[in-house]
Structure 1
Amino acid sequence: MPEWLQAGGWGLLAGSALLIGAAVGFFARVPRGMIASIMAFGAGVLLSAVSFELIAEAHEQGGLLATSLGAAGGALAYTGANVLLARHGARHRKRSGEEQPSEQEQPGSGSAIAVGALLDGVPESVVIGASLLAGGPVSLVTVVAVFLSNVPEGLSSAAGMRRAGRTKRYVFLLWTGIALISGLAALAGYTLLGGAPPEVLAGITALAAGAILAMITDTMVPEAFEDAHLLVGLITVAGFLTAFALSHA
């Protein structure tokens, strides 16, 4: 199978976890404490992947300066876009409770949430595609980490959308679209960055890492802390160690 097609397939696989989580969150009445615990685990998994896969790889490719500038730029870009989206009702897009506004309460919030979901998912998929550029197999740890973290993201967000009165059609068209775009983003990560100098690849990888880290602390950790605050640290460490073990298997 051509590597560009592999890149798109791995991105689609990781993105499909959002749809799985959304189906559980929309149709099942999962206790909020369990959702928060699953979110904490997913946050720990992503934190490990950012630390030991993305940042470490970027540093090895391009050195400290390119890595630092890329990560800071990714965090800044994500935060700036997130601030704009928050003003239009997407601040709590990953919350499972009643924090999400309905379209009647804040017109345009549905579109803002859709854009926010896209903003959360694209950086992860780009690095999945870019991981094939070294000529070896895809970074399985990154794929697994993104997949494991996407399930609680989709679950929590869809549960909140249901409580906000959004329709089944809206929820599943949104997450199906994000899953497909995840595949395209991974494909773009492979095709557009092929032949780029190591410093550029390092900067792009670190850029995605900074955006993911900002996303974790801004959208995943608050949901995890809300209803599982007594155990959230322990559960997050369990997720972190799971991904760490996978990276050294």
Structure 2
Amino acid sequence: MAVWLEAGLWGLLAGSALLLGAAAGWWLPVPAAVVAWVMAFGAGVLVSALAFELVDEAERSGGLFATSLGFLLGACAYVAANELLSRRGARHRKRSARVQPSEDEAKGSGVAIAIGALLDGIPESVVLGLSVPSGGGVGVTVLAAVFISNVPEGLSSSAGMKRAGRPASYVFGVWAGIAVVCGVAALLGRLLLDEVPPATVAVITAVAAGGILAMVADTMIPEAFQRTHVLTGLITTVGFLSSFILQRWG
């Protein structure tokens, strides 16, 4: 199988976690505390993945300057886009660990919610595609981190759409479309970036890493803390350690 096609399939698999989360939010009465635990654990997994799989690899291949530049650009891009989306109704797209949103909040624009999911999913999928080596396989830690972080997003957003009166066809159509886009992003990331200079790949990888870290600090950990409180640090640490062990054994 062509490497770029394999990368696309891995991206689609990771994106399918959005559908799993959406299904759980639609059909299962998942307690908010459980989602918060998952979010805190996923935050630790993401920090481990971006530290050992993304930033470290980017610095080795492209140098410290390119990595630092991309890392800061990614963080700035996420913060700016998140603020813009928050003004258009997407502030609560990852508020699963908080109390149930009001009906007005749940009626936030479906387009804005989808854009918010893509904001996280596209760079993550590109990085996932880049982690597929020429000999096949995938960066297991990156795949696990993306998969785990996608579940709470799909869960919380679908629950909000359901409360707003959106039909199942709309909800699952949105998340299925985003999952496909994640697969395409991983495919294109591998296909288009295969021959570019290492410094370019380093910048792109670091951009995704910076955006992910900003998302973890701005959204996942604060929202998890709303329910897990003093256990947030411990749960996040367990997620980090689990990811680190998986990376060493993978």
TM range (shorter): over 0.9
Q: Aligned pair 1:123/2:128, yes or no?
A: no
Bigger Cα displacement from structure 2, 50-59 vs 93-102: 93-102
Please, which runs of 5 or more residues in structure 2 have no aligned partner? none
Find the aligned partners of 1:16 and 1:34 in 2 and give their Cα distance: 20
CA distance in 1: counterparts of 2:228 and 2:163, whole angstroms? 20
Q: Secondary structure at the match of 1:132?
A: coil
Alignment-derived partner of residue 49 in structure 2? 49
The 8 Å contact of residues 102 and 165 in structure 1, kept in 2 or not, is answered as no
Q: Which amino acid aligns with 2:163?
A: R
Q: Offset of 1:33 from its aligned partner?
A: 0.9
2:152 maps to: 152
Give the direction of change, closer, same or farther, for the CA distance of 1:238–1:168 in structure 2 (3 Å limit): same
* Cross-structure match for 2:190: 190
User: Within 2, Cα distance between the matches of 1:155 and 1:179?
Assistant: 14
What percent identity do the matched residue pairs reach?
60
For residues 108-158 of structure 1, give each alpha carbon's deviation from its aligned partner in whole angstroms, at most 9, with x where no partner exists.
x22111111111111100011112356553212211221122222222332
The runs of at least 4 aligned residues of structure 1 exceeding 6 Å deviation read none
Corresponding residue number in structure 2 for 1:101: 105
Judge which range, 43-52 or 155-164, deviates more. Answer: 155-164
Contact 1:61–1:199 (8 Å) recurs in 2: yes
Q: Counterpart amino acid of 1:170?
A: Y
Which secondary structure does the structure 2 equivalent of 1:22 belong to? helix
Q: Is the 8 A contact 1:58 1:205 kept in 2?
A: yes
Could you tell me how far apart the structure 2 residues matched to 1:36 and 1:234 are? 13
2:199 — aligned with what? Answer: 199
Counterpart amino acid of residue 101 in structure 1 = E
Quote the offset at 1:222 in angstroms: 2.6
Q: Distance in 2 between matches of 1:172 and 1:121?
A: 16
Correspondence for 2:4 = 4
Q: How many residues align?
A: 245
- Cα distance change on mapping 1:169 and 1:136 into 2, 3 Å: closer
SS at match of 1:101: helix
1:210 alignment partner in structure 2: 210
CA deviation after TM superposition for structure 1 residue 87, in Å: 0.5
Partner amino acid, structure 1, of 2:3: E
Q: Which segment drifts farther, 163-172 or 189-198?
A: 163-172
Structure 1 residue 36: Cα displacement: 0.7
Give the direction of change, closer, same or farther, for the CA distance of 1:201–1:173 in structure 2 (3 Å limit). same
Q: Tell me the SS of whatever aligns to 2:106.
A: coil
Counterpart in 2 of 1:31?
Answer: 31
* 1:225-236 correspondence to structure 2 within 5 Å: 225-236=225-236
C-alpha displacement at 1:56, in angstroms? 0.7
State the TM-score, normalizing by the size of structure 1. 0.93
Aligned partner letter, 1:98: P
Question: For residue 172 of structure 1, what is the aligned residue in structure 2?
Answer: 172
Does residue 20 of structure 2 align to residue 20 of structure 1? yes
Maintained 8 Å contact 1:153/1:220: no
- Alpha-carbon distance in structure 2 between the residues aligned to 1:26 and 1:74: 32
**Aligned equivalents of 1:228, 1:51: Cα separation in 2:** 24
Q: Which runs of 5+ in 1 are unaligned?
A: none
Kept in 2: contact 1:55–1:67 (CA 8 A): yes
For residue 221 of structure 1, what is the aligned residue in structure 2? 221
CA offsets 1:218-243 (integer angstroms, 9 cap, x no match):
22223211111121111111111111
Q: What secondary structure does 1:53 align onto? A: helix
